[in-house]
């Protein structure tokens, strides 16, 4: 059955909703540092886009707790299937920062996952990663590998056929996969109420006989513990879980979007009172684990780390544009050969043009 109540551990004022819960201090501080690093990273990439250094960018500010908390619950051998907005999850699980920057620069290097992690490149088509995550999880089970899949998607993806096919197959075969929906209230510019009549995302799992849970997606403790429990259940053979993390993206859908056309300023400001970083700062301060000097130090270290990543990303030579004709088909068909030939002639003519002052 579905519980419409949000699972919440960390209250807005930094207190815990359950006095019996014990939070590991080292883990809480690590969470805070990751939240800050990812917020600094996200803001700087928005600035890079505005300066023309990267292409269109999908920001995630406001959703850091959903991504960091869930990614921290994974084991090294697990699989991650991210969307184009899940850079915080990718960074937390070990994807190199510079590669994420290269991805948004349109470089092929940005799609090469690290050797030590099973992280797929960001998925842009909506929901296509969901049945693939189920397939990978089923393969892990078939091969007796102790690995789970964690797949991210937004509320809009739950209206796609791939969502239902992936959940149905996972439930039938008890594939070790956790479906993690970040419900930020909008499917691009369409509000939740216009793209589904379901009162919650979590209830969509009931039709497939699947465990489901709704959580406060801005509560990093609730996200971490809920995802960890779901992964442990999947790993032990109990089957998949659908998690609905209720959260909010402060920025537009992408840097090519104007969110003011479909959202009010007041709505965004109201959500900032639930900010995941401010809430964790309040908790750490209550526990005597963070003062203003230490807080400033965390932000300065994050700035240095992100600045170094950006500097390196921009320092390498420009990519060879001919790479777009390579590594797709073993033998190029005539039309691709023709396109490549025309492109090279165009580039040769462009390089030979001399510009003089008129």
The model's pLDDT over 17-33, given as tens digits with 9 standing for 90+, comes to 987 889 999 999 999 99
Q: What is the pLDDT of residue 352?
A: 65
Going by C-alpha positions, the residue among 65, 56, 61 that lies closest to residue 8 is: 65
Rounded to two decimals, the pTM is 0.93
Tell me: pLDDT of 2 over 70: no
Q: Give the pLDDT confidence of 297-306 residue by residue, as tens digits.
A: 999 999 999 9
Residue count of the chain: 358
Mean pLDDT over the full length of the chain: 94
Q: How many Å apart are CA 342 and CA 7, to the nearest integer?
A: 58
CA distances in angstroms from 90 to 15, 60, 172, listed in the order given? 29, 12, 29
Q: Give the pLDDT confidence of 60-82 residue by residue, as tens digits.
A: 999 999 999 999 999 999 999 99
Q: Give the pLDDT confidence of 264-313 residue by residue, as tens digits.
A: 999 999 999 999 999 999 999 999 999 999 999 999 999 999 999 999 99
Going by C-alpha positions, the residue among 297, 260, 302, 268 that lies closest to residue 34 is: 302
Residues 344-350, mean pLDDT to the nearest whole number: 87
Domain 25-315 classification at class level:
alpha beta
Q: Give the pLDDT confidence of 88-114 residue by residue, as tens digits.
A: 999 999 999 999 999 999 999 999 999
Q: Give the pLDDT confidence of 112-147 residue by residue, as tens digits.
A: 999 999 999 999 999 999 999 999 999 999 999 999
The residues that are catalytic are 249, 253, 262
- Chain centroid, CA 152 distance in Å: 7
List alpha helices for 51-197, DSSP H: 64-71, 87-93, 97-104, 129-142, 161-173, 192-195
Instruction: Give 223 or 327, the one with higher predicted confidence.
Output: 223
Going by C-alpha positions, the residue among 59, 108, 116 that lies closest to residue 88 is: 59
Q: What is the pLDDT of residue 200?
A: 97
Show the beta-strand stretches assigned E in the chain: 79-81, 118-119, 149-154, 177-183, 186-187, 190-191, 211-216, 241-246
Tell me: pLDDT of 358 over 50: no
- Chain centroid, CA 11 distance in Å: 24
User: Are the C-beta atoms of residues 88 and 38 closer than 8 Å to each other?
Assistant: yes
- Residue for token pair 């995630």: 60
Tell me: pLDDT of 164 over 90: yes
Q: How confident is the model at residue 55 (pLDDT cuts 50, 70, 90)?
A: very high
List alpha helices for 94-249, DSSP H: 97-104, 129-142, 161-173, 192-195, 220-235
Q: Give the pLDDT confidence of 7-19 residue by residue, as tens digits.
A: 999 999 999 998 7
- The pLDDT > 70 percentage for the chain reads 97
Q: How confident is the model at residue 239 (pLDDT cuts 50, 70, 90)?
A: very high
Residue 180 three-state SS: strand
CA angle 303, 41, 313 (to 5 degrees): 90
Token pair listed for 178: 């956790």
Q: What is the pLDDT of residue 355?
A: 52
Tell me: pLDDT of 351 over 90: no
Question: What residues form DSSP beta bridges with 212?
Answer: 242
Tell me: pLDDT of 1 over 50: no
Domain ranges of the chain: 25-315, 321-352
């Amino acid at each position: 059955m579905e519980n419409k109540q949000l699972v919440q551990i960390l209250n807005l004022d930094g207190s815990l909703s359950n006095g019996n819960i014990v939070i590991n201090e080292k883990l809480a501080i690590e969470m805070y540092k990751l939240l800050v690093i990812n917020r600094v990273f996200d803001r700087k990439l928005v600035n890079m886009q505005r300066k023309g250094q990267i292409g269109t960018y999908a920001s995630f500010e406001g959703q850091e707790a959903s991504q960091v908390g869930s990614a921290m619950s994974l084991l090294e051998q697990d699989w991650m299937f991210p969307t184009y907005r899940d850079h915080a999850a990718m960074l937390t699980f070990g994807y190199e920062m510079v590669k994420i920057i290269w991805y948004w620069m349109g470089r092929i290097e940005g799609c090469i996952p690290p050797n030590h992690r099973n992280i797929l490149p960001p998925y842009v088509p909506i929901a296509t990663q969901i049945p693939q995550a189920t397939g990978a999880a089923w393969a892990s089970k078939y091969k007796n590998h102790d690995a789970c899949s964690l797949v991210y998607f937004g509320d809009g993806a739950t209206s796609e056929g791939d969502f239902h096919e992936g959940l149905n197959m996972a439930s039938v075969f008890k594939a070790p996969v956790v479906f993690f929906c970040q419900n930020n209230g909008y499917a691009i510019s369409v509000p939740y109420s216009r793209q589904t009549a379901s009162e919650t995302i979590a209830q969509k799992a009931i039709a497939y006989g699947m465990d489901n849970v709704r959580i406060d997606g801005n509560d990093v403790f609730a996200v971490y513990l809920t995802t960890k429990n779901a992964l442990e259940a999947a790993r032990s053979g109990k089957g998949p879980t659908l998690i609905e993390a209720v959260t909010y993206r402060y920025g537009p859908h992408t840097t090519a979007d104007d969110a003011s056309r479909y959202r009010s300023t007041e709505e965004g400001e109201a959500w900032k009172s639930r900010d995941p970083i401010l809430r964790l700062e309040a908790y750490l301060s209550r526990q005597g684990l963070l003062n203003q000097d230490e807080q400033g130090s965390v932000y300065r270290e994050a700035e240095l780390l992100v600045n170094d990543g950006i500097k390196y990303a921009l320092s390498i030579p420009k990519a060879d544009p001919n790479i777009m004709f390579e590594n797709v088909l073993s033998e190029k068909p005539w039309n691709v050969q023709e396109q490549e030939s025309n492109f090279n002639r165009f580039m040769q003519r462009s390089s030979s043009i001399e510009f003089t002052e008129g």
